Amino acid sequence: MLLSRREFCQATAMMGLTCSSGISLKAQTAKRYWLYIGTYTSGKSKGIYLYEWRTDGKLSHRGLAAESPNPSFLAVHPTHKYLYAVGEVNTLDGKRTGGVRAFALDTKTGRLTLLNQQPSGGSGPCHLIVDPVGRHVLVANYSGGTVAVLPIESDGRLAEPCCVVQHQGKSINPKRQEAPHPHSVN
């Protein structure tokens, strides 16, 4: 596919490069971003892993950012000071509920420090988001059939769920649809 000069410059700009006069490219100073990967911890994995991604295309593994049980979905606070992770489990502290963990995020090193953990309002939390202004974490609990809202304190810690909605119903496939299974909250 042939691109016009304008299309070529737009495409290279999206990749973090600049288009100078003529057809040559001049690389800008590479920007660094932290990439967090949540995992299931039933095997060798221990939690949330940290990678450094640079706009020059380099990706470097930086190790374990934080130990956490089944942090299968992660969300970053709008201030980039905190990271929240589901604990996709069915019991927490002997109760039938999953968990949500709050971490302080060190923007210089990428390391995470556990602030606290709260129940997710149902078992098997599989998805969460932080609202756009950073006041609440919303979580979908697949196995429990619930969706919950956890307030975020001023220091990034989570409060207990202030609202839990229990979904009802089933559908035509008795093996997979015997009960509600919220899988996302947006």
The 10s digit of each residue's pLDDT in 103-136 is: 999 999 999 999 999 999 999 999 999 999 999 9
Residues with Cβ within 8 Å of residue 78, at least 6 apart in sequence: 130, 132, 133, 134
- The Cα 101–Cα 110 span in angstroms is 17
Q: What is the pLDDT of residues 32-70, one digit of tens each?
A: 999 999 999 988 999 999 999 998 889 999 999 999 999
Does an H or E element contain 116, and which? strand 112-119
Tell me which H or E stretch contains 104.
Answer: strand 99-105
Q: Is the pLDDT of residue 167 over 90?
A: no
Q: What is the pLDDT of residue 17?
A: 41
What residues form DSSP beta bridges with 26?
A: 18
- pLDDT class for 14, splitting at 50, 70, 90? very low
Nearest to 80 by CA among 39, 29, 134, 120: 134
Distance CA 81, CA 102 (A): 11
Rg for the chain (alpha carbons), in Å?
A: 21
pTM for the full model?
0.81
Distance CA 112, CA 97 (A): 24
How far is the C-alpha of 74 from the C-alpha of 46, rounded, in Å?
15
- Sequence-separated (6 or more) residues with CB below 8 Å from residue 75: 83, 84, 85, 128, 129, 130, 137
Give the Å distances, CA to CA, from 137 to 4, 56, 77, 83: 45, 33, 9, 11
Look up tokens 């470097």; give the residue: 60
Mean pLDDT of the chain: 85
Residues 6+ apart with CB under 8 A from 13: 19
